[in-house]
Amino acid sequence: MSKDAVTVEKAIDLLKDSGVRITPQRHAILEYLVVSDAHPTADEIYKDLEHKFPNMSVATVYNNLRVFKKTGLVKELTYGDSSSRFDFSTKQHYHIICSRCGKIVDFFYPGLDEVEALAAQVTGFVVDHHRLEVYGICPDCQKKETEQNQ
């Protein structure tokens, strides 16, 4: 069994423990999120799965994403471009975002967790989470730019 299959099964168990019924569409959407590292929008998920489930609507995708979000399996990422992206990850991580094409890539840096403790100490706040976004130009866009300039 692959790492992704184990992850999907663990996520399904968590949903079942939360009283969520596992439909074929729900399973497919969850599996799509686990396998995808592209941080898809609901519309992208719908378009990629509509051939498999011709009767499934975009609303079904949104409703399932809401359920996943409520159970803590999925995070909704909003970056001001009016389309939410969805991220399945069980580990605290950060994102680097291409300023040109919008591609989002995960990166891990455990040292940033200390920022919460420091912020709480300095301000007296009870910190419940933080978010870090790094922006730049991805390798694909750099390559396109180089090719255009030659």
- Would you list which residues are annotated within the binding site for Zn(2+)? 98, 101, 138, 141
Give CA 107 to chain center in angstroms. Answer: 12
Q: Residues comprising the binding site?
A: 98, 101, 130, 138, 141
Nearest C-alpha neighbor of 78 from the set 101, 58, 97, 61: 97
Residue 23 vs residues 42, 114, 150: alpha-carbon distances, Å:
18, 40, 52
Q: Residues comprising the binding site for Fe cation?
A: 130
Q: Where are the alpha helices (H) located in 71-130, listed in sequence order?
A: 113-123
